[in-house]
Amino acid sequence: MQHRSTGQGQLDLFHARASVIAARDAQDLMSWPFFSLAKSRRVTPIDFRMGEVSIRVEATVEHGMATIWDADILIWAASQIVDARDNGLLTSRLMAATPYEILAFIERGDSAHSYNRLKAALDRLQSTTVATSIRQSAERRRHRFSWINEWKERVDVSGRPLGIELILPDWFYAGVIDDALILTIDRQYFSLTGGLERWLYRLVRKHGGRQTHGWSFDLGHLHVKSGSLSPFRRFTFDLREIVRRQPLPGYRLALSIDRNGRSRLNFQLNPVDPFASASATPCAPRGRATRAVK
């Protein structure tokens, strides 16, 4: 494993590289409701249970819950770790980078405002706590952690900022180091402005992957899985708007009603041929009888 610890909890410092690298996301974070999808402050916990999976996300009143935009920092961290590992370099949960390197990767500006927003995001990631059964061997066992164990600004002797150091939790780092739990994502993801469409892209990328004939989800299932505080009616309205705009890079969305009368969201890969994409009609996955929703 490309990871080194020394002494009692001492971690070697991993310096992030400024080179252009692929964007990679952790599959567990793409599949389940770990983040607030709202731009306004959320303090209401996410309390999610589905089968053997349980997730409890709690926020502080001071900072609010970590958002799906804050999760861009975790995408940056995962991308750095995987790229370094693939190039034979040692990695660590203790990472160092300049604010510019992080902001440039997640396609934010490098203004003082962007820097302050970055620090606020780090505060939310550090203060948000998660308890989950995912990847725990015992069904009733939960792993509890924060998205960032701790972080600090580094300054020189005159007080000028040199960069940021942060420590990732074991749960996240272990998932990143495992090849099977990482997926490459389209860099256009960082341009998506809505919380729901960002969450939807990650879910589609995880479940749809590269399947030619796509996949589909029952809207009720999607609503529960999103962890959103929006009422189902509002959630459905927002989904319809996303389907109308088609903002997800690489995927085509369509709404339909299945043979049981339930509304479904269908998604499949965009046609490779740009001329075909203009006339292609999104189709439902094989094995599901559907009719279009107007």
Regarding pTM above 0.75, the answer is yes
Residue 251 has pLDDT above 90, yes or no: yes
Share of the chain above pLDDT 70, in %: 86
Contacts of 289 (CB under 8 A, 6+ apart): 258, 259
Contacts of 174 (CB under 8 A, 6+ apart): 135
Contact 92, 11 (CB under 8 A): yes
Question: Which of 52-61, 98-107, 129-138, 259-268 is the least confident region?
Answer: 129-138
H/E/C letters for each residue in 163-208? EEEEECCHHHHHHHHCHHHEEECCHHHHHCCCHHHHHHHHHHHHHH
∠ CA(240), CA(246), CA(248), 5° rounding? 115
Structure tokens at 228: 């959103």
Overall average pLDDT of the 188-193 stretch:
97
